[in-house]
Amino acid sequence: MNPYSHLVSEYARFFREGKQYPLGGFPFPPVAAPAAGAPRALIFSPHPDDECIIGGLALRLQRESGWNIRNVAVTQGSSRPRQAARWQELQEACRYLGFGLIATAPNGLEQITPKARAEDPEGWKAKVAGIARILAAETPAAVFVPHEHDWNGTHIGVHHLVLDALATLPPAFATAIVETEYWGQMTRPNLMVEVSEGQLADQVTALSFHVGEVQRNPFHLLLPAWMQDNVRRGSELVGGQGGAAPSFGFATLYRLRHWRGGRVEDTAGGRNLGLSDAPASLFR
């Protein structure tokens, strides 16, 4: 028997079986409360569900380094009839992962796109001010935000929204910027973070709480394959062309930079963060 035929058929079988698995409704695991004064990280999520998809490093910071992770729900989706349900789904997904949750508006912000930024400067300014207030109040050690070419208009809009908000803060304000990808791949990621099988299972489970979205497109079932492909890409893009690939099974790619003195500073070199490495070491 050709072992690769078996390999592919097993992948296909698990995907078919996964479509029959329940969505959400799982018991919430116990999560230790962060210690007083623990470093904070904010995930600026363009839509409810992004926190589960790109949250590999954030979840490791929470579980291994005791960080306080809070998801900022920038929007609650563009479908107004679904916004209340999406907020409920988001609350349950964040509770499953142990993330705090911050609302930006009763039904989330709307029109967070490059087009709105260009055509409605006054409306955009008001939204920037709201994000700046969250940043000033939370004083995060790191912010997670989509990169500027993440294809989806709201993802790109959130990138500019957060960077514009940072630019309004006093020059002394400093934080790490962890840029994320999903719909559009980064050409220059500089960080690949390994994700354990157990943590990935938790991310897939939390993502299943976003019932309305994964019924439309079962991307919770595709998350393991996406993380495998991240290892393929990251081995060259982060580790260097032609270099030896790390023995990661699953990983998420990021671009780590810093906001200092009122501007973005690049971080030299690339790094592969394995399971034996302390995630907090990235921010020292």
Domains of the chain: 39-277 (3.40.50.10320)
Burial 261-278 (b: 16+ CB within 10 A, else e): eeeeeeeeebbbbeeeee
Paired sense of beta strands 251-260 and 142-146, if any: unpaired
**Residue 241 near residue 150 (C-beta atoms within 8 A):** no
Closest CA to 109 of 93, 136, 87: 87
Whether the predicted model's global pTM rises above the 0.95 cut? yes
Q: Please give the Cα distance from 146 to 149 (Å, whole number).
A: 8
At 127, the amino acid letter reads K
Say what angle helices 219-237 and 197-208 make with each other, to 10 degrees.
140
Tens-digit pLDDT string for the chain (284 aa): 899 999 999 999 999 999 999 999 999 999 999 999 999 999 999 999 999 999 999 999 999 999 999 999 999 999 999 999 999 999 999 999 999 999 999 999 999 999 999 999 999 999 999 999 999 999 999 999 999 999 999 999 999 999 999 999 999 999 999 999 999 999 999 999 999 999 999 999 999 999 999 999 999 999 999 999 999 999 999 988 887 889 999 999 999 999 999 999 998 889 999 999 999 999 98
Unique residue bearing structure tokens 């939390």: 206
Q: Please give the Cα distance from 224 to 149 (Å, whole number).
A: 23
Residue 42 CB contacts under 8 Å (≥ 6 apart), including other chains: 70, 71, 72, 102, 134, 135, 138, 140, 142, 143, 144
Paired sense of beta strands 175-180 and 251-260, if any: antiparallel
Q: Please give the Cα distance from 106 to 104 (Å, whole number).
A: 7
pLDDT of residue 240: 87
Strand (E) or helix (H) holding 255? strand 251-260
Paired sense of beta strands 142-146 and 191-194, if any: unpaired
Distance from CA of residue 277 to its chain's centroid?
Answer: 20
